[in-house]
Structure 1
Amino acid sequence: MTTHSSSPLSHNTLNDIPLSILDLAPVIQGGTVADTFHRSLVLAQHAERLGFHRYWLAEHHNMPGIASSATSLLISHIAAGTERIRVGSGGIMLPNHAPLVIAEQFGTLETLYPGRIDLGLGRAPGSDHATARALRRGLGSDGQQFPAQLQELRSYFQPDDSAVVHAHPGEGLHIPIWLLGSSGFSAQLASQLGLPFAFASHFAPDYLLPAIEAYRAEFKPSAQLERPYVMVGTNIIVADTDEEAQRLATSQYQSFLGIIRGHRGYLQPPVDSMDTLWSAQEEQYVLQMLRYSAIGNPETVRAKLIAMLADTNADELIVAGQIYDHNARVKSYELLAELVKTK
């Protein structure tokens, strides 16, 4: 099966590039996990109507403000409530799991929702070291075995009469596999295996350009993919005015501030100013982590996205936006869809 791709020598424009959504399933201060699941489904339904290409959910653990720990179950919830949009993982942290279990889970998802499931894979724990040890108890994995685990996982989708262990369901199904990363490791592996590559520049932008350059330069065609295909993660918050968008963004700033302080809580309401909440050094660090962001009114965001495409020549953008108010979150994606269609 060949994933759609554009030539690495082409120059994609904002008006023809696919847009997708990465939902971190935020639990807001004062809200519940049930609220989060409902809002994620509503957002996915809006995204489908607006023409977004895919809707991904990410595996995180031991984080009260992120509700996507049972990622495969949440993918099924979203896919069941939509009709056309692709739904998948951005990503499953493979070292946390036995590859056979993931093959069976995604074989089940692909059987339930044929032609709509993506399997994005990462090698990070998706949490802190103590939680990683709890998750990986008995697996003997610290992430270094990721290439071997990936090979094992892929083998379960290939019919093999000589195999002792089979994935039922899973075997014989064509589920697109993506590699996700924030460094050169996954980029190199994706290029060697001929797989599409997604870079997590929405929180780790430092190695974005070197990683995608190496991926494209070293890419080897495969049965899944003829040419390199790069999806770039970005934070986007669109509102009617720059001032309102910047205010909405303070919820995300507070989340990243909590990460660097070692406190991962619920998504906080926006504030008028961050000045009393962070130090100058913390502000610089947070803004550096989030520098691949487009925050503002539609024209401001459009200009930033055009510049981002000029830098990366991405084949697809996947958008995250940690917004406290659900209606403002939906509106942000509506405005984004409109500005991309505007010539």
Structure 2
Amino acid sequence: MLRLSVLDQSVALSGQSQAASIRETLALAQHAEALGYHRFWVSEHHSHPSIVGSAPEVLMAAIAATTDTIRIGSAGVMLPHYSALKVAEQFRVLDALAPGRIDMGVGRAPGSDMRTARLLNPDPRQSAENFPVQVRELQTWVSGIDFPAGHPGHGVEASPSGPTTPDLWMLGSSDYGAQLAAHYGLPYAFAWFITEGQGAAEALALYRRLYQPSLAHPTPEAVLCVWALAADTEQEAWVHFSGRERWKIDRNQGGLGPLLSPQEVAQRPYTRSEQVQSDQLRANALVGSGAQVANKLRQLAAEHAVNELVVITWAHSPEARIASYSLLAQEFALNPVNPS
């Protein structure tokens, strides 16, 4: 059985406040749980005109308080900005709020421009180079294992303790994250939506070949995070896709901003070079009717031998976004959850 999960990035929408995007993420989490999705992950970005989710651990706490069964996670916490001990404490608190439901996804990327990264951490280059050590320390603290004598963290605990622990995930879009996840025996999420699939096969093969079993994860566990959008008809799906398409073309030209509505996109005809980019994006996009997108997702999962896909959907209309996840839930026969 192929499991489906959700990654939401709290996308800024034209004509709407950024605060509303955060509230829509919270509402989407509740819908995802009701539809039977396995996980709901939220991302971390800083000073980003398009993606406004800056504090995943805070948003996760709100989701934990308003859901009952779905796993909740970060995709991810950008660990070089922070102390591993503080992150461990935050996620131990989250696990106390939602025992056994917390995924702690971490990444090395800044999630921002370098000027913002320096404001978050005055020495991000040194921290990024120290990322493997941070991951090991985070893994130790969140598991409640003491450091050996002589380590600065010996005798220091990440509270609160409890019968369950957050599940640590490595996020990545290159061979680096795959090798680190394999070395530490961690589950691995490849960001297909960032690379358009480039490097995915190589990273997954490396991860599986080098994997060193851990107590929590004796076998490798990999997922793909993909961008997809479904609607009642293929034509309708392409209309809703137009905002994401316009955003990607603008981004390639150095422009970032809120996601535009299909009506706003229609008022900006493509230049010849932009039309070429549009054709390329549409050729590879996981867009269409529910059945069409479901078939593409099944093929992708089979090709890369994964049993879970984490789906990201951008649409200017919140109703279109919810409808897309609903259609995929139907196509994959997810088990709906009755609200408590």
Same-fold status (TM-score > 0.5): yes
Distance 1:95 1:239 in 2: 39
Deviation at 1:202, TM superposition (A): 1.1
Alignment of 1:238-257 (within 5 A): 238-257=230-249
Q: Is the aligned partner of 1:169 residue 2:141?
A: no
Deviation at 1:126, TM superposition (A): 0.4
Distance 2:234 2:264 in 1: 13
Q: 1:300 aligns with which of 264, 280, 292?
A: 292
CA contact (8 A) 1:107 1:173 kept: no
Give SS of 1:143's match.
Answer: helix
Give SS of 1:87's match.
Answer: strand
CA deviation map 1:133-160 (0-9, x unaligned): 1111156635222101111212212332
Q: 2:325 is aligned with what amino acid?
A: Y
Task: From the superposition, tell whether residues 173 and 23 of structure 1 become closer, same or farther in structure 2 (CA, over 3 Å).
Answer: same
Q: 2:119 is aligned with what amino acid?
A: A
Q: 1:187 aligns with which of 173, 178, 188?
A: 178
Q: 1:137 is aligned with what amino acid?
A: P
**Equivalent in the alignment of 1:334:** 326
- Two-structure CA RMSD over aligned residues (Å): 2.3
Distance 1:298 1:20 in 2: 16
**Equivalent in the alignment of 1:4:** none
Task: From the superposition, tell whether residues 139 and 224 of structure 1 become closer, same or farther in structure 2 (CA, over 3 Å).
Answer: same
CA contact (8 A) 1:91 1:180 kept: yes
Alignment of 1:247-286 (within 5 A): 247-271=239-263, 276-282=268-274
Deviation at 1:119, TM superposition (A): 0.2
CA deviation map 1:189-243 (0-9, x unaligned): 1111111000000121211111001111121111111111111011111101111
Task: From the superposition, tell whether residues 165 and 289 of structure 1 become closer, same or farther in structure 2 (CA, over 3 Å).
Answer: farther
**Equivalent in the alignment of 1:105:** 90
**Equivalent in the alignment of 2:122:** 137
CA contact (8 A) 1:251 1:271 kept: no
Q: Is the aligned partner of 1:93 residue 2:75?
A: no
Deviation at 1:109, TM superposition (A): 0.6
Q: 1:191 is aligned with what amino acid?
A: A
Distance 2:7 2:128 in 1: 23
Q: Is the aligned partner of 1:224 residue 2:209?
A: no
Q: Is the aligned partner of 1:35 residue 2:20?
A: yes
**Equivalent in the alignment of 2:338:** none
Give SS of 1:127's match.
Answer: coil
**Equivalent in the alignment of 1:159:** 145
Deviation at 1:21, TM superposition (A): 0.2
TM-score, length of structure 2 as denominator length: 0.89
Point out the structure with the larger helix share.
2
Task: From the superposition, tell whether residues 287 and 341 of structure 1 become closer, same or farther in structure 2 (CA, over 3 Å).
Answer: farther
Give SS of 2:332's match.
Answer: helix
Q: 2:24 is aligned with what amino acid?
A: R
**Equivalent in the alignment of 2:226:** 234
Q: 1:46 is aligned with what amino acid?
A: H
Give SS of 1:324's match.
Answer: coil
Alignment of 1:52-71 (within 5 A): 52-71=37-56
Q: 1:101 is aligned with what amino acid?
A: K
CA deviation map 1:171-202 (0-9, x unaligned): 88521100000000010111111110000001
Q: 2:217 is aligned with what amino acid?
A: L
CA contact (8 A) 2:92 2:165 kept: no
Task: From the superposition, tell whether residues 272 and 130 of structure 1 become closer, same or farther in structure 2 (CA, over 3 Å).
Answer: closer
Deviation at 1:267, TM superposition (A): 1.4
Tell me, which stretches of 5 or more residues in structure 1 are unaligned?
1-15
Q: Is the aligned partner of 1:212 residue 2:204?
A: yes
**Equivalent in the alignment of 2:311:** 319
Stretch deviating more after TM superposition (261-270 or 276-285): 276-285
Distance 1:171 1:131 in 2: 36
Q: 2:100 aligns with which of 115, 120, 126?
A: 115
CA deviation map 1:248-283 (0-9, x unaligned): 011111222232223321111124977955455455
Q: 2:114 is aligned with what amino acid?
A: H
Give SS of 1:61's match.
Answer: coil
TM-score, length of structure 1 as denominator length: 0.88
Counting matched residue pairs gives 327
Distance 1:291 1:118 in 2: 33
CA deviation map 1:5-31 (0-9, x unaligned): xxxxxxxxxxx1110000011121111
